[in-house]
Amino acid sequence: MQAFGEHRPAVELELTRVPAGCQVIDVNDLAIAERFWSEVTGLPVIPSYFKGRYSYLGEPAPWRHRVILHLVSTVKGPETNRAHPDIWVRDVDTAIAQIEAIGGSLKKAPAIYPRPHSYVGERPAIDWAVMQDPFGNEFCLIRVLTVEQSRAVAEAGEREPGDDGH
């Protein structure tokens, strides 16, 4: 079994796949949402039982949905989502540029979590950023630091104070 800081994505892509389970994302335009989320997750659009109201992304044979795009008439407000997908990537900065190119936007700049000195005894574990889809829904880009990267960030943090700010 690998330690937390030694995790590697199963597929070596700039953007990897949505984890097992199902995410439901409210959207205001199914066609835009299908293009955006299919590109982000790498999952194809699959047949929908409720055309015009819901779109599905997932495996076509056997049919299995991983993401449900739910057409809603209300526009997302300024509040933060209470739940969101995490998308695991090889490089956060590269993934940000790719997502911005397909209509997404950066909400919170890349950061290390936890920052050195934020939590006693915890080493930095991830590099992450918060993005938004074209409808304002948040999702995170996550890259797990290697043991060596975590150690280097912790050592750099010894030279200057930090706080989590999360």
DSSP string, 74-139: SPP-SSPPSS--EEEBS-HHHHHHHHHHTT-EEEEEEEEESPTTSSTTPPP-EEEEEEE-TTS-EE
Output the average pLDDT for the chain: 85
pLDDT at position 15: 61
Is the residue at 92 inside a domain? Answer: yes
pLDDT digits (tens, 9 = 90+) for 137-146: 999 999 999 9
d(CA 152, CA 158): 10
Tell whether 165 is covered by a domain: no
Residue 17 pLDDT grade (very low, low, confident, very high; cuts 50, 70, 90): low
Instruction: With a cut of 60, say whether residue 148 has pLDDT above it.
Output: yes
- Using 50, 70 and 90 to split pLDDT, how confident is the model at 156? confident
> Which of 114 and 118 is assigned the larger pLDDT?
114
What's the pLDDT at 87?
93
Q: Which pTM value belongs to this model?
A: 0.75
Indicate whether 23 belongs to any domain: yes
Q: Is residue 97 very low, low, confident or very high in pLDDT (cuts 50, 70, 90)?
A: very high
Position 4 scores a pLDDT of 41
In a domain, 118, yes or no: yes
- The more confident residue out of 85 and 1 is 85
> Does some domain include residue 67?
yes
Average pLDDT over residues 132-136: 96
pLDDT by residue (tens digit) across 38-59?
Answer: 999 999 999 988 899 999 999 9
Residue 145, domain member (yes or no): yes
Asked if residue 128 belongs to a domain, the reply is yes
pLDDT band at 165 (very low <50, low <70, confident <90, very high): low
Domain count, the chain: 1
Domain encompassing residue 140: 14-73+84-158
What is the domain-level CATH number for residue 142? 3.10.180.10
Distance CA 21, CA 72 (A): 22
On whether residue 2 sits in a domain, the answer given is no
Per-residue confidence (pLDDT) for residue 5, from 0 to 100? 44
